[in-house]
């Protein structure tokens, strides 16, 4: 204990904090982002202005946010966690209201010149609130039903709002993100077992309901499931994206076709090649070596976060780090699994690589929190 006590006195202050930032993590994030710029340049056919350059500007802003947040002490985050959740929740309600008045599926809200996607912000806010909740909650009560019910409600309430937009992908990410924090906080595995069992039962019921009077999904939703199970059944229709993506990815081989040489992805065989399917471009042009390298970089990021979390004695900080890295993990693994045909096609970007401002900003904000937790860990 004496070693730890000694460290507590050493919590850095002021600009000295810069020395305590988790620099390997920063380097990894920058490296992944650079891969992103490269791929966006390639996808645009060797043009910087189309996607790569705007993405670089956003990345620059994101770096400032990440490093800036690293200086913010944990008590501040603990203090605003409830407020952040409530604000995000109200924004979701607002979006739903405007959405019904406006043009159907609306996910954006305009606050002056800034365009915010509340559902993305909610991912961070939810992790923040749940971490604060479990930091506050007596350890012995963590698995008591009533204290399990509260975070479940906290998760499901915004999820329901997001689902109404409708945005199934983000809803699942919210549930998964919240679930990871609950899991890390030590909620009994029985609950998770029960949820998984219920999920499997629900899927079975849904599949069985097909063609009966009590059919639980619409026909087109069933067809989407069919496409996932057998993309080749409808190669020019719904299965097109998955098949094209698999062809491009597989044709990369061991070392790929070479930078800017990907025929499939650059020739518009792939839709959304600069966003959801950018991993395909990477895999085609740099082959297994490139794809596996990116996977390794991602795992290193997750690993560094996890190591930081496990070595952090501040429960709140640990849970935030695990929650954010877990969400990040879900992000890239879902995207990769999708383009490889392991999961049904569903629009989700490849974190830090895909073109898109909101996703990048939220991720940098998240890594800012991870850094803050790392910098301000008790010593």
Residues that bind another protein (CB under 8 A): 1, 136, 138-139, 180, 183-186, 244, 246-254, 263-264, 267-269, 283, 287-288, 291-292, 295, 298-299, 302-303, 306, 309-310, 313, 315, 318-319, 322, 326, 329, 333, 336-337, 340, 342
Q: CB of residue 204 vs another protein: minimum separation in angstroms?
A: 23
Nearer to another protein, 293 or 358 (CB): 293
Q: CB of residue 231 vs another protein: minimum separation in angstroms?
A: 13
Nearer to another protein, 121 or 353 (CB): 353
Q: How far apart are CA 284 and CA 259, in angstroms?
A: 9
Q: CB of residue 333 vs another protein: minimum separation in angstroms?
A: 5
Q: How far apart are CA 338 and CA 246, in angstroms?
A: 10
**Phi, psi (deg, nearest 5) at residue 295:** -60, -40
Q: CB of residue 368 vs another protein: minimum separation in angstroms?
A: 21
Nearer to another protein, 50 or 215 (CB): 50
Q: CB of residue 127 vs another protein: minimum separation in angstroms?
A: 14
Nearer to another protein, 186 or 258 (CB): 186
Q: CB of residue 337 vs another protein: minimum separation in angstroms?
A: 6
Nearer to another protein, 100 or 296 (CB): 296
Q: CB of residue 147 vs another protein: minimum separation in angstroms?
A: 14
Q: How far apart are CA 100 and CA 102, in angstroms?
A: 6
Q: How many CA atoms lie less than 13 Å away from 310 in the CB half-sphere?
A: 6
Query: Across the strands, what pairs with 355?
Result: none
Q: CB of residue 87 vs another protein: minimum separation in angstroms?
A: 26
Nearer to another protein, 139 or 150 (CB): 139
Q: Is 250 exposed, middle or buried (0-12, 13-18, 19+ CB in 10 A)?
A: middle
Q: CB of residue 249 vs another protein: minimum separation in angstroms?
A: 6
Q: CB of residue 334 vs another protein: minimum separation in angstroms?
A: 10
Nearer to another protein, 160 or 267 (CB): 267
Check: CB of residue 94 under 8 Å from CB of residue 124.
no
Nearer to another protein, 78 or 107 (CB): 78
Nearer to another protein, 59 or 277 (CB): 277
Q: How far apart are CA 159 and CA 165, in angstroms?
A: 10
Nearer to another protein, 22 or 119 (CB): 22
Residues in Cβ contact with 115 at an 8 Å cutoff, skipping those fewer than 6 apart: 108, 109
């Amino acid at each position: 204990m004496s070693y730890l006590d000694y460290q507590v006195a050493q919590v850095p202050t002021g600009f000295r904090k810069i020395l305590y930032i988790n620099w390997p993590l920063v380097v990894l994030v920058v490296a992944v982002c650079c891969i992103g710029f490269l791929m966006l340049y390639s996808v645009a056919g060797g043009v910087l202005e189309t996607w790569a350059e705007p993405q670089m500007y956003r990345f620059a802003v994101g770096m400032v946010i990440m490093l800036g947040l690293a200086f913010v002490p944990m008590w501040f985050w603990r203090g605003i966690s409830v407020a952040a959740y409530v604000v995000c929740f109200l924004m979701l309600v607002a979006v739903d209201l405007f959405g019904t008045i406006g043009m159907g599926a609306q996910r954006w809200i305009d606050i002056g010149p800034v365009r915010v996607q509340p559902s993305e912000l909610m991912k961070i806010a939810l992790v923040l609130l749940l971490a604060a909740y479990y930091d506050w909650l007596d350890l012995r009560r963590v698995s008591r039903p009533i204290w399990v019910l509260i975070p479940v409600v906290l998760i499901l309430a915004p999820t329901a709002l997001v689902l109404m937009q409708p945005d199934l992908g983000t809803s699942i990410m919210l549930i998964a993100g919240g679930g990871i924090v609950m899991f890390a906080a030590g909620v009994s595995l029985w609950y998770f077992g029960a949820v998984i069992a219920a999920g499997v039962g629900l899927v079975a019921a849904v599949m069985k309901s097909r063609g009966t009077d009590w059919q639980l999904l619409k026909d087109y939703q069933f067809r989407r499931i069919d496409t996932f199970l057998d993309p080749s059944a409808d190669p020019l229709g719904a299965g097109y994206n998955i098949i094209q993506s698999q062809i491009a990815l597989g044709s990369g081989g061991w070392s790929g076709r070479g930078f800017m040489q990907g025929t499939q992805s650059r020739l518009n065989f792939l839709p959304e090649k600069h966003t959801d399917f950018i991993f395909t471009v990477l895999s085609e042009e740099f082959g297994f070596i490139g794809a596996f390298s990116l996977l390794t970089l991602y795992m290193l990021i997750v690993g560094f976060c996890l190591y930081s979390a496990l070595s952090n004695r501040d429960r709140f900080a640990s849970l935030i780090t695990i929650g954010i890295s877990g969400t990040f993990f879900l992000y890239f693994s879902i995207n990769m699994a999708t383009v490889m045909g392991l999961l049904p096609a569903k629009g989700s970007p490849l974190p830090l690589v895909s073109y898109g401002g909101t996703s990048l900003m939220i991720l940098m904000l998240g890594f800012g929190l991870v850094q803050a937790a790392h910098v301000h860990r008790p010593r």
